[in-house]
Chain A
Amino acid sequence: MHTALPALIFLFPFLSAILMPIVGRVNRRLCQPVTVLALGGMGMVSLLALIHLLQRGPIRYPFGGWAPPLGIEWVLDGLSSILTLLLSFIGMVVAVYAGPTVHKKLPTKVTPFYTLVLFLMSGLTGMVLAGDFFNLFVFLEVASLSGYALVAVGEDRALLAAFRYLILGTIGASFYLLGVGYLYAATGTLNMADLSQYLSQVPYSKTVLLGLAFIAVGLSIKMALFPLHGWLPDAYAYAPDAVSTLMAPLVTKVPLYALIRIAFWVLGVEALRDRFPLMVFLGWMGASATIAGTILAFMQPDFKRMLAYFSVSEIGLIMVGISVVNPTALTGAILHIINHAFMMACLFSVAGAAIHRHGIGKVFELSQLRGKMPWTLTAFTIAFLSMIGIPPTGGFFSKWHIILGAIEARHYLFASVIVGSSLLTALYFFRVIQKTFFDGNAKLDPPPLSWWRMEAPPAMLFGMGIFALGILLLGIFNAPIISILMAVALPRNL
């Protein structure tokens, strides 16, 4: 029974996505609860799997009973079970949060919306669990196709943004597939564990190097690593609020996870240190992304667009953590994937609530919310403190580990880039705070009689409350979380 856990995790979102049109036909109001339940069930099974594998080690599930190098296998180890837990939790809370905004903005498209959300979640889950290069490609495309459709539902320029996302995303996926083809031509296998064994025994040929380069570029487009981030700001800014809240925390993280999986599990640590300068290059890309993303974010008057550029910056930060190749920095990077998911979910849900209630979408108009949406502004402040990296929020500890790792590896420049971008973020954010809370000259509407009528609807408040609480809890309980990560999520012999 327990060997089937990986497939079971996937079946929750996938089967409910297939059943969703029927559910919607019976009663459209059932769509949201069913989505929440499906993702909740997926979370429960992921938790079970995590507990199980803490005791007995990774679970490998061969599909159709065909043994691995020939058949397709799914691998549920420490890292992938943490990722599925994260996916299901964020997905579930966003599904609760989405209720009011979907009801208001997309009243006729409730059923397709939740169907696509579940397909997106199943695609991402498949990517996390795949132990096979080609299988990863298929789920990459399942997730991306649902993503394109979800972005296209939005207003204004959403259609054009979705079209650009589609063109660039398809090029990224094609490059990935081409890289897989090169690896297959060189080794004759697609299974990750098998390929890893093969690569550890032979010197890297030009074919292998070219294949790895294509894979790295393809995944970099999918994860919006600067300067390949062109699709991201438009897509997140014009997507419906519920969609950007769901996509910003998850869609770019999973290709990043795939890169970690390929780099540390397939190539192996020795190859990254001695044989192949891929990580050095990606580290420089990451460092430039950190700075460029932060600076570009400051130039955006639009709140969601600013958050999108911050997302680009944070991807760069995580990439720096990966590229250093030591346990401290990799732990920091994995922790930052989790933290960043919570921060982005929280910030985008704040943006969505401000637009939903008051139609406010600009950064410096947030002062209009003063006295009207106190809880929303509290969540906003907590999330931004975490973006800067101020204890006790989660963002501090992951940034701290990445910086520490960079210093251990004598990459002082990387460390200073991260500190610099945090300082820039802090400067900018304190200006926003000053404008929002303390600017006496701001023209405020007459004070509302009762703030709870102006505050976000309960479902939205619940969502952003959970995310803000999550940020604080991730910070307060950082020690046990980091020790679990260190124990199960790191590759051997790092």
Chain B
Amino acid sequence: MSEWIGHAHFWTFIFLLLFGLYVMITHKNLIKKLIGMYLVQTSIILFFLSLGAKKGATVPILFLSEAPVRPDSYANPLPHVLMLTAIVVGVSTLGVSLGLVILIYRRYKTLEEDEILRKE
């Protein structure tokens, strides 16, 4: 039981990923599809960040000292750096997609996918 609770971040990640995919598949509204897409991206960011976390570790800033460095006492900074980049990628994807949605709304005056298909 404690193992299950200990992996809470992992269960959250799985839930967010599947929920995001579910929202994308089931909803007809384009904005809701985008929300689902963003949930999927966010869940992966959460997954990466949880890889870098350690119990009792602190921020990975190394002060100059004579003492040997103990990697256990610092959080792994690499996933954070990767996810900074992934967040930038996600934001630009969201920017392009919202631009597309604005153009679609201007042309079809609706954001419901079935109505758009009917107007073709």
In the bound complex, residues from chain B placing their C-beta under 8 Å from that of A170 are 37, 40-41, 93, 97
Whether B85 pairs with A138 at a CB distance below 8 angstroms is yes
Give chain B's interface secondary structure class: helix
Whether B100 pairs with A166 at a CB distance below 8 angstroms is yes
A141 to B94, CA, bound (A): 12
- B53 contacts partner chain A, Cβ-Cβ < 8 Å: no
Give chain A's interface secondary structure class: helix
Whether A159 pairs with B103 at a CB distance below 8 angstroms is yes
Instruction: Give the contacting residue for B33; candidates A145, A167, A173; CB below 8 A.
Output: A167
Whether A148 pairs with B100 at a CB distance below 8 angstroms is yes
Chain A residue with Cβ nearest B51: A185
Chain A residue with Cβ nearest B30: A163
A105 to B9, CA, bound (A): 51
A110 to B29, CA, bound (A): 32
Q: Chain A: how many interface residues by the 8 Å CB criterion? A: 25
In the bound complex, residues from chain B placing their C-beta under 8 Å from that of A68 are none
In the bound complex, residues from chain B placing their C-beta under 8 Å from that of A174 are 40-41, 44
Whether B101 pairs with A163 at a CB distance below 8 angstroms is yes
A171 to B107, CA, bound (A): 26
User: Which of A145, A157, A181 is packed against the most chain B CB atoms within 10 Å?
Assistant: A181
The minimal Cβ–Cβ distance linking A191 to chain B, given in whole angstroms, is 12
A162 to B92, CA, bound (A): 15
Instruction: Give the contacting residue for A134; candidates B17, B47, B85, B116; CB below 8 A.
Output: B85
In the bound complex, residues from chain B placing their C-beta under 8 Å from that of A137 are 86, 89
- A152 contacts partner chain B, Cβ-Cβ < 8 Å: yes
- B64 contacts partner chain A, Cβ-Cβ < 8 Å: no
Whether B107 pairs with A141 at a CB distance below 8 angstroms is no
Chain B residue with Cβ nearest A185: B51
The minimal Cβ–Cβ distance linking B77 to chain A, given in whole angstroms, is 12
Whether B47 pairs with A181 at a CB distance below 8 angstroms is yes
- B48 contacts partner chain A, Cβ-Cβ < 8 Å: yes
A178 to B107, CA, bound (A): 36
In the bound complex, residues from chain B placing their C-beta under 8 Å from that of A247 are none
Chain A residue with Cβ nearest B93: A170
- B96 contacts partner chain A, Cβ-Cβ < 8 Å: yes
Interface string of A151-164 (1 = CB under 8 A from B): 01000010110110
Whether A141 pairs with B89 at a CB distance below 8 angstroms is yes
- A338 contacts partner chain B, Cβ-Cβ < 8 Å: no
In the bound complex, residues from chain B placing their C-beta under 8 Å from that of A163 are 30, 97, 100-101, 104
Interface string of A163-204 (1 = CB under 8 A from B): 100110011011001100100110000100000000000000
- A149 contacts partner chain B, Cβ-Cβ < 8 Å: yes
Q: A163-B104, A178-B44, A181-B47 are in contact. Are A145 and B93 (CB under 8 A)?
A: yes
A134 to B82, CA, bound (A): 8
- B120 contacts partner chain A, Cβ-Cβ < 8 Å: yes
In the bound complex, residues from chain B placing their C-beta under 8 Å from that of A160 are 104, 116-117
The minimal Cβ–Cβ distance linking A212 to chain B, given in whole angstroms, is 17
In the bound complex, residues from chain B placing their C-beta under 8 Å from that of A149 are 96
- B24 contacts partner chain A, Cβ-Cβ < 8 Å: yes
Chain A residue with Cβ nearest B42: A174
Give residues 9-55 of B contacting A (CB, 8 Å): 17, 21, 24, 30, 33, 37, 40-41, 44, 47-48, 51
Whether A178 pairs with B97 at a CB distance below 8 angstroms is no
Whether A162 pairs with B100 at a CB distance below 8 angstroms is yes
In the bound complex, residues from chain B placing their C-beta under 8 Å from that of A181 are 44, 47-48, 51
Interface string of A362-404 (1 = CB under 8 A from B): 0000000000000000000000000000000000000000000
Whether A171 pairs with B104 at a CB distance below 8 angstroms is no
In the bound complex, residues from chain A placing their C-beta under 8 Å from that of B97 are 148, 163, 166-167, 170
In the bound complex, residues from chain B placing their C-beta under 8 Å from that of A185 are 51
The minimal Cβ–Cβ distance linking B88 to chain A, given in whole angstroms, is 9
The minimal Cβ–Cβ distance linking B17 to chain A, given in whole angstroms, is 8
A181 to B116, CA, bound (A): 37
In the bound complex, residues from chain A placing their C-beta under 8 Å from that of B79 are 184
Chain A residue with Cβ nearest B41: A174
A-B complex: 9 closest residue pairs judged by Cβ atoms: A141-B89, A159-B104, A163-B100, A174-B40, A178-B44, A166-B97, A181-B48, A185-B51, A159-B103
Q: List 27 A-B contacts (CB under 8 A).
A: A134-B82, A134-B85, A137-B89, A138-B85, A145-B96, A148-B100, A152-B103, A159-B100, A159-B104, A159-B107, A160-B104, A160-B116, A162-B100, A163-B30, A163-B101, A163-B104, A166-B97, A166-B100, A167-B33, A167-B97, A170-B93, A174-B40, A178-B17, A181-B44, A184-B48, A184-B51, A185-B51
Q: Identify 15 new A-B residue pairs, CB closer than 8 A, beyond the known A137-B86, A137-B89, A166-B100.
A: A134-B85, A145-B93, A148-B100, A157-B120, A159-B100, A159-B107, A160-B117, A163-B100, A163-B104, A170-B97, A171-B21, A171-B40, A174-B40, A178-B17, A185-B51
- Which residues of B come within 8 Å of A, CB atoms? 17, 21, 24, 30, 33, 37, 40-41, 44, 47-48, 51, 79, 82, 85-86, 89, 92-93, 96-97, 100-101, 103-104, 107, 116-117, 120
